Structure 1
Amino acid sequence: MSQLPNGWSPEVLGKLVDFIMGQAPPGADCNKSGVGTPFVKAGEFGSDRPLIREWTVRPLKHALSSDVLICVVGATAGKINLGADCAIGRSVAAIRPTEALDQRFLYDFLATKVLDLRAGSTGSAQGVIGKDDLAEIEIRLPPVPEQRRIVAKIDSLTGKSKHARHHLDHVLRLVERYKQAVLAAAFRGDLTSGWRAGRTSVAWQHVPWEDAGTTLNGRAFPSGDYATKGVKLLRPGNLHKSGRVEWNEKNTRFLPRSYAQQHPEHLIRGCEIVVNLTAQSLEDQFLARVCLSSETDEFLLNQRIALFRPHLMDRNYCLYALKAPDFRAFVDNGLNSGSLIQHVHTKQLKRFVFHIAPQDEQREIVRRIETAFNWIDRLADEATSASKLIDHLDQAVLAKAFRGELVPQDPADEPASLLLERIRAERGAAPKARRGRRKLNDRARL
């Protein structure tokens, strides 16, 4: 370690804490009705403390509210929470500090070690953090009063950053709302009301979908003929929420090139408006998601996808009309079938009425929408960048804290070395517990 501040001592975590490795009670002894002891697994970890969703009438390993909990198995290995009075499962360990270590100081210190612990976890199927991994963590230990001053300063600084991050997150949550407001104004005619002043007025038309363009439904191509290469097949999963058609290793399926020759009417090239008629999955139940394919795209149009080619509208004007609140409300107000995976039919969509401006106003509306969206996207990008900067600042605060540079020292504080000597003496004088077979097996686990 580098030069220590006065009164600080180098130590390893295993000399400053006790470890309680979790153990799962039988499933029959667990419930979600509030009977028994709260039971915490890795899945119950919250932002700071665990969320109690399950209880057990047969708790095997206990944690305390004064502990620090850590996930030791799986994808969340290394994640930490402040403790709770609860039973803990095998995916969780409780770290119980001695009087030499303030709980919050330990929690903030371990927050800087999450990525290292995760990277060092072992296991073929899932990462595992063992007791030895935790015990060998090196820590620079300040006097206890200084630990508490450090924690108070960290709370003060990160509290301000949390407040700032909340406001930035609010900006990001409002982005889609801002865009919908722009689209609503555009297709009410409000966005170009000033532009129309002084020009010869031409009335907008109100035209049903079936008269405003042509619709092509996808074809049911056999999944048994999927190939490793050939022509791509457009399916609901390729319609991304960004409004683009997306191809990646996970969602791309191919059919032999012969299918393109056999079904030329369903071979689509270039920029086209496509709409999903079936929700992608139970998790993504977004119906009638409208996307635009790219100029370089070539694909077969699969079933449950419809293509729409407008005749009376500029393509981009039509695209924005289908993203606007009027169309969204039309779809959401009872068009889906009510089945588990929701879907709509093109005969239902054909009842939608487009509000169609004259051609020159369509172009102006598209220009103003895109100008507004560019501004909104820049604002969102700036909010995202600022949020990342706050994350870096929080990490810098923690780094300074554990180098001893965050708060002033007090010469009256008892050096950490003296407290550690007393703890060692007390532990050395304490009678040793008998090590029965069961305890040995518990220690061997993890």
Structure 2
Amino acid sequence: MTVVESAIQETGGTPLAILRDICRFDSGGTPDRANSDFYGGTTPWISGADIAPDGRLSPRSQITELALTRSAARVVGPGTILLVTRTSVGKVAIAPYPVSFSQDITAITPSPEALDTSYLVEFLKSQQDYFTGNARGATIKGITRDVVRNLSIPLPRLPEQRRIAAILDKADRLRAQRREALAHLDALTQSIFNDMFVLNLNTFTEVHDLGNVCDFYAGSSLRGGESWTGQDHGFLQLKVSDMNRRGNEVQIRGAALWSGKPGAKSATLPAGSIIFPKRGASIATNKKRTVMRPAVLDPNLMGITPRASVDIYYLHHWFEKFDLTSLSSGSSVPQLNKKDLFPVQIPVPPLELQQTFARRVAGVERLKEQHRTQLAELDTLFESLQHRAFRGEL
């Protein structure tokens, strides 16, 4: 009996194996950045930040042979799995060429007679919640190698592994196509904005303080509330986490909590407002969302509502170009205040021109909404396939 065969346990007709028994794990390292002899070579070197969510690599550094001999950095060959185990935990890629990597990444090489590389990649993707739940660290979170090494993986025969991986890969590529289409539509909207306003900025004589053309809302403690299950009246009770809720990528249409009553006057804003984080590390995400129905903000959110001279579509796209971190204050905990935003200068074109922009963008938004709906359906399908794949039901 081989080592691989002895590692496999028969459970309910589907073999299971422990990754440590059928994979090799390699650590990376970072050459001393103060040593110029270590950088500028020909070997791509990556950290977790150089792996995109879709698995593409974008190396920003090249290291030398000297760096490889005098540091913990090492090179792995094409086909090696690269799993981010520190910082952006759970991102995974397959090396398309020889590459070196930092200590934020664990390289995994499966035993070829037992485990298909693409199948293992799909399995690791399915473990994102597990990795996140096991991440530890006060400021920089990560998982230990043992968290990965001790994972049990369903292990059908290689042809079946390849079949499962191909199904999941095809579903994932359909999702990627929808995301790419949305990105193109986003670029189209921004192009319309630039053509109508940015390129002709000098022709607009009116420039105002943001505080003179918008009303501000500061969050406060949420009072009461119950689970939102689609109620079409009342007030959404919004937290920063609701900005990441599926379907809320651009416009806030739902939340975890809801209330039939408004909150504090300073925290209750109308539909057609823009919200953004105002405290902590979430400011750096630079996320802004348009609220499509009345809502109450918690203390970590802030909102602005345009007055009569500013159209919400114009405000939203102008604000999208604005970097929140350029205004945040606070030493240990970054934060935004009304006094930071009030004096920000905003060009205010004639309202008719803003409304022309809004009409053009509305058509693009309808297309985007169709793609977002289809993407949500594909996400649900992919999660179902992923769940079934590793239970022997696909």
Q: 1:50 aligns with which of 57, 69, 85?
A: 57
Q: Give the Cα–Cα distance (whole angstroms) in 2 for the partners of residues 159 and 89 of structure 1.
A: 28
Shift of 1:51: 2.5
Q: Give the Cα–Cα distance (whole angstroms) in 2 for the partners of residues 270 and 282 of structure 1.
A: 18
Maintained 8 Å contact 2:90/2:131 = yes
Shift of 1:373: 5.0
The alignment's TM-score, normalised by the length of structure 2, stands at 0.56
* Mapping of residues 207-356 of structure 1, within 5 Å: 249-250=278-279, 271=307, 273=309, 303=343, 305=345, 318-321=350-353, 323=354
* Mapping of residues 35-434 of structure 1, within 5 Å: 35-46=41-52, 47-54=54-61, 55-56=63-64, 57-59=66-68, 60=72, 61-74=74-87, 76-83=88-95, 84-99=97-112, 100-176=114-190, 249-250=278-279, 271=307, 273=309, 303=343, 305=345, 318-321=350-353, 323=354, 374-406=362-394
Q: Give the Cα–Cα distance (whole angstroms) in 2 for the partners of residues 113 and 396 of structure 1.
A: 14
Q: CA deviation digits over 1:183-217, x for unaligned, max 9?
A: 79xxxxxxxxxxxxxxxxxxxxxxx867xx8x777
Maintained 8 Å contact 2:39/2:67 = no
Shift of 1:302: 5.2
Q: CA deviation digits over 1:348-403, x for unaligned, max 9?
A: xxxxxxxxxxxxxxxxxx5x876665554333223222222222222222223223
Shift of 1:176: 4.7
Change (3 A) 1:45 1:160: closer
The DSSP-based 3-state class of the residue aligned with 1:118 is helix
Change (3 A) 1:319 1:90: same
Shift of 1:77: 1.4
Shift of 1:149: 2.4
Amino acid in structure 2 at the alignment position of 1:318: P
Q: 2:31 aligns with which of 25, 33, 44?
A: 25
Shift of 1:161: 4.3
Shift of 1:179: 7.5
Bigger Rg, structure 1 or 2: 1
Amino acid in structure 2 at the alignment position of 1:52: P
Q: CA deviation digits over 1:297-333, x for unaligned, max 9?
A: x99995553687xxxxxxxx93242x4xxxxxxxxxx
CA-based RMSD of the aligned residues comes to 4.4
Q: Give the Cα–Cα distance (whole angstroms) in 2 for the partners of residues 301 and 117 of structure 1.
A: 38
Maintained 8 Å contact 1:68/1:82 = yes
Amino acid in structure 1 at the alignment position of 2:149: A
Change (3 A) 1:383 1:64: same
Change (3 A) 1:82 1:272: same
Maintained 8 Å contact 1:73/1:127 = yes
Change (3 A) 1:369 1:58: closer
Maintained 8 Å contact 2:189/2:361 = no
Query: Identity over aligned residues, as a percent?
Result: 20
Maintained 8 Å contact 1:273/1:307 = no
Amino acid in structure 1 at the alignment position of 2:57: P
Maintained 8 Å contact 2:273/2:306 = no
Q: Give the Cα–Cα distance (whole angstroms) in 2 for the partners of residues 119 and 399 of structure 1.
A: 18
Q: 2:16 aligns with which of 1, 10, 29?
A: 10
Amino acid in structure 2 at the alignment position of 1:143: R
Q: Which has the higher strand share?
A: 2
Maintained 8 Å contact 2:181/2:371 = no
Q: Which runs of 5+ in 2 are unaligned?
A: 1-9, 198-202, 212-219, 221-249, 252-271, 284-304, 327-337
Change (3 A) 1:31 1:245: same
The alignment's TM-score, normalised by the length of structure 1, stands at 0.50
The DSSP-based 3-state class of the residue aligned with 2:378 is helix
Change (3 A) 1:382 1:30: farther
Q: Give the Cα–Cα distance (whole angstroms) in 2 for the partners of residues 136 and 50 of structure 1.
A: 27
Q: Give the Cα–Cα distance (whole angstroms) in 2 for the partners of residues 77 and 395 of structure 1.
A: 19
Q: CA deviation digits over 1:58-91, x for unaligned, max 9?
A: 22333232321111111x0121111342222211
Q: Which runs of 5+ in 1 are unaligned?
A: 185-207, 220-228, 230-240, 253-268, 285-297, 309-316, 324-365, 407-446
Shift of 1:122: 0.9
Amino acid in structure 1 at the alignment position of 2:136: T
